[in-house]
Amino acid sequence: MHIKAKEIKKTFGNRMILDGFNLEVASGETVVVIGPSGSGKSTFLRCLNGLQSIDSGSIEIGEHRLEPATSESFTPFSPKLRKMQGMVFQDFNLFPHMSVLGNVSEAPAMVDKLPRNEARQLSLELLKKVGLENHANHYPSQLSGGQKQRVAIARALAMKPKVLLCDEVTSSLDPELKHEVLDVLEKLKSDGMTLLMVTHEIGFAKKAADRVVFIAEGKVVEDGPPEKVLENPENQRLRSFISRLLG
């Protein structure tokens, strides 16, 4: 499912976060978004899935169109929006009182009204997909950070989205745990899932991204294949950013 953001503007108080932001993502494409803190990366993802309204511009997600006048009808609990996009956050957001299986099966059962036994079977299949079928009856407190994030990915996939939005999903993980999550995302890419990822994982971007987009001050500054953007950037600010990132 394609995404097209056109001339998006978003302010918080007197601060302009997105300033005429434009980006297109083709169906089945993996796009990695990088940029300094405060550049608007996470805000853009939240605008895409309706967690934030937009002040002006428009967003197309498949055949659906999101504009300022209609933003209020697109909420995080809109079944139509949930069907199109799944979102995985930095801090997992798992329900601590539910088992792994409960976390994954809750939305299909409650939102999609899937019978509990069908929601359970779907969830077990997804847990197998992320390598956690043997942890179905565990609780979040019994999991490592990498395992929690893989559960969060399975939960997002339980609504059968066409697009997966990932917001710094490995930034709070120890280096050895990041690979667990990135390996799952690579498998999703090979399955044809449309992925839009905000991340600083340059290695993953080089290996798996179709395009890398550099954002600064609420605008797309550079956009292209990983080998061009990351290894031969045209923009001085991007060169400085990559240099700092790589240490």
pLDDT score, position 65: 79
- Domain chopping of the chain, boundaries: 3-92+162-246
User: Which is nearest to 199 in space by CA: 27, 45, 16?
Assistant: 45
Q: CB 55: neighbour CB atoms within 10 A? A: 15
**What are the helix (H) ranges across 111-208?**
116-129, 145-157, 175-190, 202-208
For residue 183, the one-letter residue type is D
DSSP code string of 208-247: H-SEEEEEETTEEEEEE-HHHHHHS-S-HHHHHHHHHHH-
Residues 6+ apart with CB under 8 A from 228: none
Cα–Cα distance between 247 and 244 in angstroms, integer? 5
pLDDT (tens digit, 9 = 90+) per residue, 203-239?
899 989 999 999 999 999 999 999 999 999 999 999 9
For residue 9, the 8-state DSSP code is E
pLDDT score, position 69: 61
What residues in the chain have per-residue pLDDT under 50? Answer: 71, 76-77
Residues 6+ apart with CB under 8 A from 57: 5, 6, 7, 8, 9, 20, 21, 67, 68
CB burial string 66-104: b at 16+ within 10 A, e below: beeeebeebeeeeeebbebbbbbbbebebeeeebbbbbb
- Please give the model's pTM, rounded to 2 decimal places: 0.90
pLDDT score, position 114: 92
pLDDT score, position 77: 45
Please state, in angstroms and as integers, the Cα–Cα distance from residue 47 to each residue in 52, 87, 247, following that order. 5, 12, 32
Q: Residue 133, exposed/middle/buried by CB under 10 A (0-12, 13-18, 19+)? A: middle
For residue 244, the one-letter residue type is R
The CATH number of 3-92+162-246 is: 3.40.50.300
pLDDT score, position 70: 54
